[in-house]
Structure 1
Amino acid sequence: MNRQIDARGMGCPKPVIETKKILDTLKEGSVTTIVDNEVAKENVIKLAQSMAYHVDVREHDGNFYINIYKEDMGKETAMKPINKKDMVLLIASEVMGEGAFELGKVLMKGFIYTLTESQPYPKAILFVNSGVKLTTEGSEVIHYLRQMEGDGVEILSCGTCLDYFNLKNKLLVGGVTNMYTIVEKMNSAKNTVKI
């Protein structure tokens, strides 16, 4: 059985996420993902390789056809994901990375969306400095944060930061916290990752 995904025109990380969704439901067979750029091609190939599946790629009219083969071996052939349940994310900016502000916004939106597609979730996401703008009115990621909160992820925004940006009355997801609680959450987690 072959499933096909037309991911042409999709922005990062959607081609990878859509391919993974199909692979996760497929017991055996193959998936062909069609992409129209080198970055998407390389990302889908890396996904397949990380799951220990055979991959071949052909190019036609500027499009890449990535064939991923999944065999039923009586057990899972994919590598088990790293358990990240005991992890806290500290998001300290409304953008990801340094440099172009608009690019940073796009990257952060993609990162938050990708979190919703990766399980298990972190146990808490802490927002400080301009990161609190992601949890307040006008944020493009409220839907994703609410989804994770509904699934048990603790979403907390720094009260001092909300006050600084005059956003305390515009908080749309999660709760307000203080620096003591932020440090406590970070210290009690096995892993803390700052974004």
Structure 2
Amino acid sequence: MKLVILDRDGVINQDSANFIKNPNEWIAIPGSLEAIALLNQSGFRVVVATNQSGVSRGLFDMATLNSIHDKMHRELALVGGRIDAVFYCPHSADDNCNCRKPKTGMIKEIGKRFSVDLNQVCGVGDALRDLQAFANAGCQPILVRTGKGETTLGAGELPENTIVFADLSEAAQYIIAENN
């Protein structure tokens, strides 16, 4: 099975320092939904792994998070794409859970649920914590320059084998070319 793991905010949709707190604030990055559809058409299953500490901070509840994800699924379906699963960590950094990126719990759970060797999986993110979680779980870390990507790249502490692309469209083309 071919699988790709994507961070959500800053990779698929525009990010916000104030959190994405409702469906109206969820706005797809141009080309990102089409990139997911292209991955699907090339035989990839696509899974989202996202930190959503806004839940534990009381900024939005689970019903609202589900509504945000419903919007993402609906908009993706309109371009012929799908996300096979959304994994999220609702905890804050203070909760010291194992699922919040940069820890690897969420990524390893995806590998287990999909019965896939994470060494065969690309993980696409825009923040250092995404890349660290992907790399430490055995995935190929890919940084996109959208969202926090430029800032992350400028900080220069990327995991050793990180590959950098302008956006999810470029990353998807690379992933497809490398796996066909």
Q: TM-score normalised to the size of structure 1?
A: 0.35
Q: Which has the larger radius of gyration?
A: 1
Q: Which fold has the larger relative contact order, with Cα–Cα distance below 8 Å and residues 6 or more apart in sequence?
A: 2
Structure with the higher fraction of residues in strand conformation? 1
Provide the TM-score with structure 2 as the length reference: 0.37
